[in-house]
Every structure is written in structure tokens, then in C-alpha cells.
């Protein structure tokens, strides 16, 4: 089978398309024929070594497909079952062996492409809006990169919960996408002082919670836009990791800061299934809309990473084996 692996960390040149034997599932695992794999920033972090992984490493933390074979104790999975997963490696391939307890069923009304486009970014947006901070009706939040994969879904989920959403984007084209997702106000961060605009739009109250997946370039503006005793959630490094900070900078307003990751919000199978179930129900019910920006062949994985890292994409990137 064909797969994308890395044998060293670095730029997109380290992504290697290889032909290896089809793996076989052990106890508690299932072999899945991959129909679509999501391309996510975490894949670029694994590639560069920002997030350390054992080498060689099979890239791809998200996908959807059909069970080909189930090992003993695979939670009742059987050949032909439609499944999706997130936060398990090996998705950039024609087949992947995955832990059965990390697989969720895909409803009949959801395609493999939709499932692969939704699960990782959607569950990230879900935990941000419901668990890291449980958004309440009438609260104001700031969402950076609001036209991106996580950002666009986060805007929609925040609106489902009744929040007021201020979106930060990089262009007029992305501003239109953020408004389509439901953003109440949009700031063009390249042309404006984000914190100053947030202060103006909120009458000086600032935001109860700020969601920042950009990282280094936006951290200080995000902190300045956070209300006293409010929460700044940094959950990504699209512009690079946030440098070390002194806790004293939080004293201006007694603000809270957290660095969250998806794996800590889907620890149990019940939590994983609950988040996935909400997302699929919202999608089937028309309450959540997906934006798939582009699809690539496996051989074009390097280009998908370059496009994602350019921060010029508006929605999900998929690899189709």
C-alpha cells in the first residue's frame, strides 16, 4: 500500500511517498481502508519536530473510511462498517491500523469526505466552546483565524450557544467567509489594532474568552483583548509557538491563560463519541456547514502542507488516497 512517512524532521521535502505491506490489526485494533484523510496543522508540527514523534512516523491524525478487517476485541467492529477517527496516526495512507476505541461510526447521511473534514477540527471547536470555556448566551468571544478550518466551525458553534462573536481574519475575502459563518463583527488584523477594535466594539468591556490558534503573531493582542478575569485560550501555533512568558503579565486584569490540546478533551470513549455525535447531528441537521477548500492526491501531500502553512486557505484540506 502507499503511505506518507517521515524519517527525519524538517520541511516538506521530508515527506516520503512509500510502498509498504498492508498492516494487520492486532487485538483491539481494526484495519481501515482510508477514503479521505484530513490535513491539519498538527501534521506540520509532527513533520517539523515541534511536536516530537518517534521516527519513522506515519503522518495523518484524522480520516474516514471502511473497516476492512477487525482484530479480536475490536468492540464489535466488522468489515464494511463506516468509521472516522481523530488523534490517531497513519491517515496519510491507503490503509491504516487504528485502535478500535478511537473509531466512531459515521452516519448514513454523512460522506467519508465530510467526516474526514469535520472530526478533528470540529471536535477541537466543540471542546473550546463547551468545555475549555462553556460559552453562555450573551457572552462575547474573539475568534482568530475565523475563516480557517477550526475557526469557521468555532464561530458556528459559538453562535449555536448564543454568544456574540468577534472574528479576526487577514483579508476581505476571509471576512466574507467569517460573516457567512455567523460572526457578528469582523476585524481585519493586518489593517487594524485588534485589541483596540475589540475595546471599541465592546464599549471597553473586552472579551470574556479569546480563542487563539495563531500563536506567536497574535498572543499579545489576544491578551490585551481579554477582559479582566477572562480567559485566553491558545490552542495552535499557525504563526509559530508563543515564546516563554512571565506569569506577571496576567496580573493586569487577573486574567487566566490555558494551552489546550484535543487529546485531553477526548480521554474517554464516551467523551469522544459524545463530541462526534453532536457534530454529525449538527451537520445532518443543517446547523453546521463545512467548507472544504481543496482535495489532493497522496503524492501531493507536500503541496498540501505548503498551502496550509501559507495561511491562505479557507477551510479544510483533504488527501484522497
Are residues 116 and 204 part of one domain? no
Domain identity same for 79 and 152: no
In a shared domain, residues 251 and 282: no
For the segment 169-193, the average pLDDT, to the nearest whole number, is: 96
pLDDT score of 9 more than 90: yes
Domain assignment of residue 126, yes or no: no
Q: Which of 214, 232, 259 is the last residue of a domain?
A: 259
Cα separation of 52 and 6, whole Å? Answer: 12
Q: Indicate if 253 and 279 belong to the same structural domain.
A: no
Helices (H), 245-315: 269-284, 301-309
Question: Do both 254 and 281 map to the same domain?
Answer: no
Q: Does residue 127 belong to any structural domain of this protein?
A: no
Residues 197 and 255 in one domain: yes
Between the alpha carbon of residue 115 and those of residues 61, 180, 259, the distances in Å are 13, 21, 26
Q: In CATH, what number is assigned to the domain containing residue 211?
A: 3.40.50.720
Which of 259, 276, 292 corresponds to the end of one domain? 259
Same domain, 273 and 202: no
What would the pLDDT profile of 58-85 be if each residue is shown by its tens digit?
999 999 999 999 999 999 999 999 999 9
Show the domain range for 143: 137-259
Question: What's residue 46's pLDDT?
Answer: 97
Q: Which cell numbers in the block locate residue 150?
A: 477550526
Instruction: Report the distance separating Cα 254 and Cα 197, nearest Å.
Output: 21
Residues 112 and 162 placed together within one structural domain of the fold: no
Asked if 214 contacts 169 with a C-beta cutoff of 8 angstroms, the reply is no
Say whether both 60 and 82 belong to one domain.
yes
Is the separation of the CB atoms in 89 and 60 below 8 Å? yes
Task: Examine residue 155 and state whether it is found in any structural domain, yes or no.
Answer: yes
Mean pLDDT of the chain: 97
Residue 109 C-alpha cell reads as 447521511
**21 secondary structure, DSSP code:** P
pLDDT for residue 15 is more than 90: yes
Residue 102 resides in a domain: yes
**Domain contains 86:** yes
The model's pLDDT over 243-272, given as tens digits with 9 standing for 90+, comes to 999 999 999 999 999 999 999 999 999 999
Position 128 in a domain: no
**Residue 311, pLDDT score:** 86
Contact 262, 87 (CB under 8 A): yes
Please give the pLDDT value at position 312: 85
The CATH number assigned to the domain holding 293 equals 3.90.180.10
Please indicate, yes or no, if residue 125 is contained in any of the structural domains. Answer: no
Please indicate, yes or no, whether residues 242 and 275 belong to a single structural domain of this protein: no
Whether residues 76 and 100 fall in one domain: yes
pLDDT at 277: 98
Listed residues 259, 286, 307: the one ending a domain: 259
In angstroms, the Cα distances linking 123 to 169, 243, 298 are 21, 26, 24
E strand segments, 43-148: 57-58, 62-70, 82-86, 95-99, 103-105, 140-144
Distances (CA, A) of 15 to 46, 85, 300: 11, 22, 10
180 and 271 co-located in one domain: no
**467548507: which residue's cell?**
291
Domain total for the chain? 2
Who's near 98: CB < 8 A, 6+ residues apart? Answer: 29, 30, 32, 85, 88, 90
The CA distance from 42 to 260, in Å, is 13
Kindly state whether residue 253 falls inside one of the protein's structural domains: yes
Amino acid at each position: 500500500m502507499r503511505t506518507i512517512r517521515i524519517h527525519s524532521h524538517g520541511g516538506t521535502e521530508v515527506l516520503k511517498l512509500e510502498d509498504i505491506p498492508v498492516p494487520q490489526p492486532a487485538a483491539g485494533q481494526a484495519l481501515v481502508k482510508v477514503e479521505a484523510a484530513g490535513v491539519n496543522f498538527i501534521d506540520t508540527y509532527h513533520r517539523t519536530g515541534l511536536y516530537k514523534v518517534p521516527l519513522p512516523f506515519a503522518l495523518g491524525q484524522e480520516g474516514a473510511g471502511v473497516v476492512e478487517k477487525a482484530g479480536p476485541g475490536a468492540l464489535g467492529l466488522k468489515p464494511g462498517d463506516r468509521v472516522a477517527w481523530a488523534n490517531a496516526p497513519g491517515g496519510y495512507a491507503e490503509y491504516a491500523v487504528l485502535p478500535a476505541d478511537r473509531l466512531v461510526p459515521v452516519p448514513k447521511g454523512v460522506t467519508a469526505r465530510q467526516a474526514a473534514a469535520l472530526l478533528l477540527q470540529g471536535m477541537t471547536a466543540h471542546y473550546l466552546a463547551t468545555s475549555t470555556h462553556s460559552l453562555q448566551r450573551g457572552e462575547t468571544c474573539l475568534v482568530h483565524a475565523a475563516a480557517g478550518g477550526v475557526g469557521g466551525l468555532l464561530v458556528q458553534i459559538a453562535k449555536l450557544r448564543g454568544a456574540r462573536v468577534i472574528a479576526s481574519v487577514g483579508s476581505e475575502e476571509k471576512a466574507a467567509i467569517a460573516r457567512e459563518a455567523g460572526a457578528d463583527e469582523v476585524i481585519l488584523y493586518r489593517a487594524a489594532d485588534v485589541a483596540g477594535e475589540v475595546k471599541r466594539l465592546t464599549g471597553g468591556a473586552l472579551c470574556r474568552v479569546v480563542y487563539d490558534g495563531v500563536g506567536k503573531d497574535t498572543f499579545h493582542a489576544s491578551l490585551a483583548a481579554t477582559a479582566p478575569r477572562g480567559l485566553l485560550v491558545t490552542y495552535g501555533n499557525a504563526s509559530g509557538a508563543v515564546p516563554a512568558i512571565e506569569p506577571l503579565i496576567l496580573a493586569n486584569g487577573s486574567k487566566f491563560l490555558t494551552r489546550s490540546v484535543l487529546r485531553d478533551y477526548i480521554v474517554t470513549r464516551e467523551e469522544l463519541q459524545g463530541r462526534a455525535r453532536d457534530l454529525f447531528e449538527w451537520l445532518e441537521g443543517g446547523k453546521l456547514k463545512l467548507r472544504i477548500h481543496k482535495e489532493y492526491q497522496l503524492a501531493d501531500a507536500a503541496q498540501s502542507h505548503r498551502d496550509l502553512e501559507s495561511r491562505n486557505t479557507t477551510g479544510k484540506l483533504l488527501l484522497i488516497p
